[in-house]
Structure 1
Amino acid sequence: MQTFLKFRYFLVLLLCSACGESPNKQAEPQTSPSVETQTETTTDNADKVILFFGNSLTAGYGLDTEESFPALIQDRLDSLGLEYTAINSGLSGETTTGGLNRLQWVLNQKVDVFVLELGANDGLRGIPLKETRSNLQAIIDRVKEKNPETKIVLAGMQIPPNMGQEYTKEFRTIFPELAEKNGLQLIPFLLDGVAGRPELNLPDGIHPTAEGQKKVMENVWAVLGEILKK
């Protein structure tokens, strides 16, 4: 089956503002995404599901859908003959609070691997670290409650020192600490090799270009590929 037919791009018509958030700082543009519809015949129901749950980094902000790293993961899966369907559930502007609020809808389907990529917007907006940590833990708990067999991958994130060195350092530790606490696989830094490189980022300096997304895909695959081998 062709990649275009297998790749499903799920977005929720839910804005972070509807969650009652009052961010201190605008981290990335919030968009009201258009939902791409798909008939039941375009996916193989026998395939296992890898769900990428994140913000604009997952959604592929500013790029065509097929240039986002979840779509590139689907290409890799297909090339290796692995019967998995990658679902892109990235929403631009999403915080951990917003993600927690829309999680139940996302988990209405069976998920075999859940890749959690949230937190960057929290950090850029200066949201209290205790809140970010609590929300991420709640997301992890709910995924496990829904299906204890679901494998969870946590994407590590780092932020510029705009909020001060102490905040920046503690933010970085949230992800490895949660991964260790919950026995999760960790992508040490999602944007490793991309962050801070103008040629791999859009003019906003935040979102990867198509070439940058290729590098992000390799960072994800380094961890995800090992899980699928098992």
Structure 2
Amino acid sequence: MRSAAWTRRDFIAAGLAAAYAGASAAAPGAPPVILVVGDSLSAEYGLKRGSGWVALLEQRLAREKIPAKVVNASISGDTTAGGRSRLPGLLNQLKPTHVILELGANDALRGLPLAMTEDNLNAMTQAAQKAGARVLLVGMQVPPNYGSDYTQRFGAVFPKVAKDNKAGLVPFLLHNVADVPDGLRMFQADRIHPKEEAHPLILDNVWPELKKQLK
């Protein structure tokens, strides 16, 4: 039986939901509400506030004169299991019209079973769609040192989930960041988290697919 004591994740999820409880877009004709559920790649890990790709997304929406509200519910270190556990509360409180799912990298770092990652992504996609939101799945890849078999199977999870659920897909969040010859210069000292200058490129990967859904 679950302890009555709340974990740090519980407090963060509850705080996010409460903070944006008034952001519901349930009324017909109301501006879109874009919910981003991700990990440190979306939570501005190691960056100054307002320089990550989600913050840049808000700026681009303003330039494009798209009156959408962006809610960043990303938590550093989160896995697909963590996202799955907190997504229902976020959907209930925020009533998003669009959900961007950027999770899975930490599953790979922890060596979690790919079947579990796929199941969690399917469950989150279906829950968001059932709540009336359009879903954009953000694909990830792992370095070749994981082995070619695992690398290929991990990368294939995201397009499969997107296809099975007729959801949108960003093939690789770090395209033109991690997959270029001098890619290491785009990363912080840990070689995992992109530097500030990489985040406009990350947004360029997400924006075309999100814009299709906003239309």
TM range (shorter): 0.7 to 0.9
Rounded Cα–Cα distance in structure 1 between residues aligned with 2:136 and 2:8: 25
Pair 1:71-2:16 in alignment? no
Match of 2:152 in 1: 169
Deviation of 1:43 after TM superposition, in Å, equals: 7.3
Structure-to-structure mapping, 1:185-224, within 5 angstroms: 185-195=168-178, 197-224=183-210
Q: What TM-score results when the alignment is normalised by the length of structure 1?
A: 0.79
Q: What TM-score results when the alignment is normalised by the length of structure 2?
A: 0.84
Match of 1:55 in 2: 39
Between the aligned residues of both structures, percent identity stands at 38
Residue pair 1:195, 1:206 contacting (<8 A) in 2 also: no
Rounded Cα–Cα distance in structure 2 between residues aligned with 1:54 and 1:181: 21
Match of 1:134 in 2: 119
Rounded Cα–Cα distance in structure 1 between residues aligned with 2:48 and 2:35: 19
Change in 2 beyond 3 A, CA 1:144/1:190: same
Change in 2 beyond 3 A, CA 1:146/1:227: closer
Rounded Cα–Cα distance in structure 2 between residues aligned with 1:151 and 1:86: 14
May I ask how many residue pairs the two structures share in their alignment?
199
Q: What letter corresponds to residue 217 of structure 1 in structure 2?
A: L
Q: What letter corresponds to residue 207 of structure 2 in structure 1?
A: W
Deviation of 1:163 after TM superposition, in Å, equals: 3.3
Deviation of 1:194 after TM superposition, in Å, equals: 0.9
Structure 1, residues 54-89: CA drift from partner, whole Å, max 9, x if none?
100011111123111111000001111111011111
Structure 1, residues 153-197: CA drift from partner, whole Å, max 9, x if none?
000110013432211110010011111111111101000011151
Rounded Cα–Cα distance in structure 1 between residues aligned with 2:23 and 2:80: 29
Pair 1:94-2:111 in alignment? no
Structure 1, residues 80-133: CA drift from partner, whole Å, max 9, x if none?
111101111110000111111111221121111111111011112111111111
Rounded Cα–Cα distance in structure 2 between residues aligned with 1:151 and 1:226: 11
Unpaired segments ≥5 residues, structure 2? 1-6
Residue pair 2:128, 2:134 contacting (<8 A) in 1 also: no
Structure 1, residues 4-51: CA drift from partner, whole Å, max 9, x if none?
xxxxxxxx9407xx9xxxxxxxxxxxxx89x79x988x9797432011
Pair 1:156-2:139 in alignment? yes
- Across the aligned residues of Structure 1 and Structure 2, the Cα RMSD in angstroms comes to 2.7
Q: What letter corresponds to residue 97 of structure 1 in structure 2?
A: A
Residue pair 1:191, 1:216 contacting (<8 A) in 2 also: yes
SS at match of 1:198: helix
Residue pair 2:23, 2:33 contacting (<8 A) in 1 also: no
Match of 1:179 in 2: 162
Q: Where in structure 1 do 4 or more consecutive aligned residues deviate above 4 Å? A: 42-46
